[in-house]
Amino acid sequence: MKDSTLVQEALAEIRRVGCEGEIYIEQSRSTKVSVSGGMVESLEVREDRGAGVRLFDQGRAGFSFTAELSAPGIASAIERARSIAEVVAPDPANRLPDDPGQPLPDMRLFDPRLAEVPVRRKIEMALGAEEAARAAEQRVSGVRESSYQDVSGSYHLANTAGMESSFCLSRAHVSVELKATDGNESQTGWHAGWKLGAEGLDPAIVGREAARKAAAKLGARPAETGRMTVLLSPEVTASLFGELAALFSADAVLKGRSLLAGKAGDRIASSNVTLIDDGRHPEGYASAPVDGEGVASRETVLIDRGVLRGFLHSAYTAARMGASLTGNALRGDYCSRPHISRTNLYLRPTGVSAEQLLRGVSDGVCVMEVMGLHTINPVTGDFSLGASGLRIESGGLTAPVDRMAIAGNILELLGSVEAVADDLEFLVIGPGATVLLRNLAVNGQS
């Protein structure tokens, strides 16, 4: 039975049991290949087919799912969701999105050629990345993992209020994590690249870049302690702000788990900070026409020239807070209900190149890697992150440094942003650009 027919039958059944609700159908196929030492360590080919059902009955919500894509299977899931809703406490904010909007037409999210790529070719890509890393740098002493991953699928979502959306999506990426050694010293390096499909994905570039990153850290010395000028690389910016996205979750705000609670309309950052979440960006890894509730993806300005303008919402939090929908209720798969998450979260460039930023720093450090992002306190905003990178002297990158920590408070960090370069990259881990911070606390470690 076609998805469209199943969807219409499901909606009819939801109405028959006297509820409002939605049906989400996923059919996807994914591959993951991991190699090390020229040998395949693991190979996983997975197919997911199923439906998730969410019902609303006078403010009560129930969710269930099924792997049986048939009218009886979905009807059983609807009955389970209705039974759950019967025992849940009512909340008037439990309801379908009021005005989901219209998705952008002709978004390029899918490469149909990915389905034709044989598994042997995928293995060769993982092996090729490892081979390129070893060939590029003789000090590479071990490759922890070289991997190829992809996903390709179709997704169909509709609700009893008349919203219906279907789309196909594909992603493929290669990553390498390795170690470089010189004498008794070892350093690690990681790099990844992605495309909509296997075509155009160059494993050799990924392997060489991972090797370069590890080798560049060899010979590192502890950084000095003090307040100094800091450049964040695009990868560090992407990782850091990806972690900070949780602070902008309206759910966290409602539960008092974000330091931004009660600060809407306040200045929380320097005027150089404009933070945007854009689920429809043509280059974004996380782009899609709609979110997991069928709300059209859109551009949401969270911080506008330093002023906090709003949060990331689901239909529930938007109703609770009287806010506009943002299209940030995402699903992991058909087995999970929507939850608030970022899409493509990035800082708007301030009209300067990364080279100009570097030339303007007489003494400082360029942070190329951070550790411990999960330790950021979302309520107080305090943080202390392990870091490594390169010294900056007289406008140029010099010796590698490590065993350092950058510490402070998130609001202090946002206030220290002096510029955002125009080298915005849409990486697997999220969008990132080179960012200049002034007077940041750096602690050197022996």
pTM given for the model: 0.96
User: Distance between CA atoms of 286 and 429, rounded to whole angstroms?
Assistant: 9
The reply to whether 329 and 423 lie within a common domain is no
The reply to whether 322 and 395 lie within a common domain is no
- A 10 A CB-CB count for 87 gives 8
Strand-pair partners of 371: 386
pLDDT number for residue 2: 75
Domain end residue (candidates: 199, 216, 233): 216
* pLDDT, average across residues 231-244: 97
pLDDT number for residue 329: 98
The reply to whether 73 and 206 lie within a common domain is yes
Burial 412-435 (b: 16+ CB within 10 A, else e): bbbbbbbbbbebbbbbbebbbbbb
Kindly state the DSSP code that residue 375 receives in the 8-state scheme: G
Assess if residue 247 is contained within a domain. no
Given the DSSP bridges, would you call strands 221-222 and 396-409 parallel, antiparallel or unpaired?
Answer: parallel
DSSP per-residue codes, 91-154 = -TT-S--S----PPTT-----GGGGG--HHHHHHHHHHHHHHHHHH-TTEEEEEEEEEEEEEEE
Task: Give yes or no for residue 446 having a pLDDT over 70.
Answer: no
The reply to whether 375 and 424 lie within a common domain is yes
The reply to whether 74 and 84 lie within a common domain is yes
Task: Give yes or no for residue 72 having a pLDDT over 60.
Answer: yes
User: Distance between CA atoms of 369 and 262, rounded to whole angstroms?
Assistant: 32
Q: What does the mean pLDDT of the chain come to? A: 96
pLDDT number for residue 444: 86
Assess if residue 15 is contained within a domain. yes
Assess if residue 8 is contained within a domain. yes
Task: Give yes or no for residue 106 having a pLDDT over 90.
Answer: no
Q: Yes or no: say if 113 and 30 are a contact pair by the CB < 8 Å rule.
A: no
The reply to whether 14 and 129 lie within a common domain is yes
pLDDT number for residue 340: 98
The reply to whether 167 and 288 lie within a common domain is no
Q: Yes or no: say if 251 and 340 are a contact pair by the CB < 8 Å rule.
A: yes
The reply to whether 229 and 205 lie within a common domain is no
What are the tokens at 156?
Answer: 């169909």
- Type of residue numbered 168: C
Given the DSSP bridges, would you call strands 275-278 and 299-304 parallel, antiparallel or unpaired?
Answer: antiparallel
The reply to whether 101 and 32 lie within a common domain is yes
Assess if residue 231 is contained within a domain. yes
The reply to whether 32 and 142 lie within a common domain is yes
Domain end residue (candidates: 201, 216, 231): 216
Assess if residue 44 is contained within a domain. yes
* pLDDT, average across residues 76-105: 96
Percent of the chain with pLDDT over 70: 99
401: part of which helix (H) or strand (E)?
Answer: strand 396-409
pLDDT number for residue 3: 77
pLDDT number for residue 1: 56
pLDDT number for residue 445: 67
What are the tokens at 427?
Answer: 């990486």
What are the tokens at 150?
Answer: 């992809």
Q: Which domain holds residue 99?
A: 3-216
Q: Yes or no: say if 327 and 133 are a contact pair by the CB < 8 Å rule.
A: no
pLDDT tens string 338-372: 999 999 999 999 999 999 999 999 999 999 999 99
Domain end residue (candidates: 347, 369, 402): 347
pLDDT tens string 383-422: 999 999 999 999 999 999 999 999 999 999 999 999 999 9
Kindly state the DSSP code that residue 316 receives in the 8-state scheme: H
Cβ-proximal residues to 127 (8 Å cutoff; 6+ apart), any chain: 35, 38, 146
Assess if residue 80 is contained within a domain. yes
Assess if residue 249 is contained within a domain. no
